[in-house]
Amino acid sequence: MFYHVKELQYNAKPSKPDAVYAKKLQEILGGQYGEMTVMMQYLFQGWNCRAENKYKDMIMDIATEEIAHVEMIANMIAQLLDGAPANDQEQAAKDPAVEAVLGGMNPQHAIVNGLGAQPNDSVGYPWSARYTVGSGNLLADFRANLNAESQGRLQVCRLYEMTTDPGVRDMLSFLIARDKMHQNQWMAAIEELERTQDAVVPSTFNPQHEKQEVAYTFYSFSEGTESQQGSWANGPTMDGKGTFEYIQNPEPMGQIPNLKPGPPFIHGTPPTNLKNGEQSPPQ
């Protein structure tokens, strides 16, 4: 069960309206790595969690906080849109939509959303549940969460550099700090899980069913041998069960594919030794 309190988690109040920046801020609301994504990703991971209760509780704690972040950014966008479009009030009165477009504002903020936020990214693509990850394997999911928080924090930091508004920067500085905490949190949870299971996901798969002779081989498929200098090509593997091997320009190990002609009803390109209407010889 969720309940709502009127106060935001942290202040979200710009010093002045800025409709163009409101468009940019949409990215960390409804973009692939925006707050809506981590909110829904963590909620479904928590609701579907079948592991120890401490993991479910932790996931739901952060998921609920992300709802608060969505609320903060939506309110900030709405306030940045106050008075928009506002570059030329006389011209705007004649055609607000044209003024919005020429001024760099997202016209949908005025036309569709009534000067409010929308569940879209900064170029208008709608948020999609396909952005989310929830596999039921906590190690795989937590690594996806770490990536989401890393990409999200990167975008918030870039947005911080794109404004000088002290009110906007104040809110962004809070989100940047919380994203740092969340990265540390997921890294701690990943490290804990790696101590109790293999580092490679899934840890429950029978290794007898995989080709062990290629399980720790680094293949160099490009010019140059610089990649050989990395720890991923030499020394012990990260799961502690093997040694990396480096192979430059590996030889193919498979057959040359040779597909049979399709049946007549497919109407594909027939073999060159057949005339139209003839049946392919039996294989």
Q: Smallest Cα–Cα separation from 27: which of 39, 36, 18?
A: 36
Q: Which residues of 132-158 are buried (b: 16+ CB within 10 A; e: fewer)?
A: bbbeebbbebbbbbbebbebbbebbee
E strand or H helix at 99, and its extent? helix 96-102
**Digit-coded pLDDT (tens) for 196-249:** 998 999 999 998 899 999 999 999 999 999 999 999 999 999 999 999 999 999
Q: Which two tokens stand for residue 221?
A: 């498929």
pLDDT of residue 108: 87
C-alpha to C-alpha distances, 75 to 26, 34, 72, 196, nearest whole angstrom: 11, 15, 5, 42
Q: Which residues pair with 218 in a beta bridge?
A: 246
pLDDT of residue 275: 60
Q: Are 121 and 27 in contact (CB under 8 A)?
A: yes
Distance from first CA to last CA of the chain, Å, rounded?
A: 63
Rounded to whole angstroms, how far apart are CA atoms 80 and 23? 9
Considering the entire predicted model, what is its pTM?
Answer: 0.86
pLDDT of residue 277: 54
Q: Which residues pair with 236 in a beta bridge?
A: 243
Q: How far is CA 41 from the centre of its chain?
A: 10
Q: Are 40 and 47 in contact (CB under 8 A)?
A: no
Q: Are 77 and 26 in contact (CB under 8 A)?
A: yes
Measured in residues, the chain has a length of: 283
Rounded to whole angstroms, how far apart are CA atoms 194 and 205? 15
- Extract the residue ranges of the chain whose pLDDT is less than 70: 85-103, 273-283
Q: Which two tokens stand for residue 44?
A: 């479904």
Q: Smallest Cα–Cα separation from 78: which of 56, 110, 100?
A: 110
pLDDT of residue 279: 54
C-alpha to C-alpha distances, 69 to 36, 47, 185, 190, nearest whole angstrom: 9, 20, 17, 24
Q: Which residues pair with 243 in a beta bridge?
A: 236
Q: Give all domains of the chain, ordered by start, each with its CATH number.
A: 19-196 (1.20.1260.10), 207-248 (no CATH)
* Inter-helix orientation angle 53-80/166-196, to 10°: 160
* Cβ atoms within 10 Å, residue 282: 4
Residue 209 makes CB contacts below 8 A (sequence gap 6+) with: none
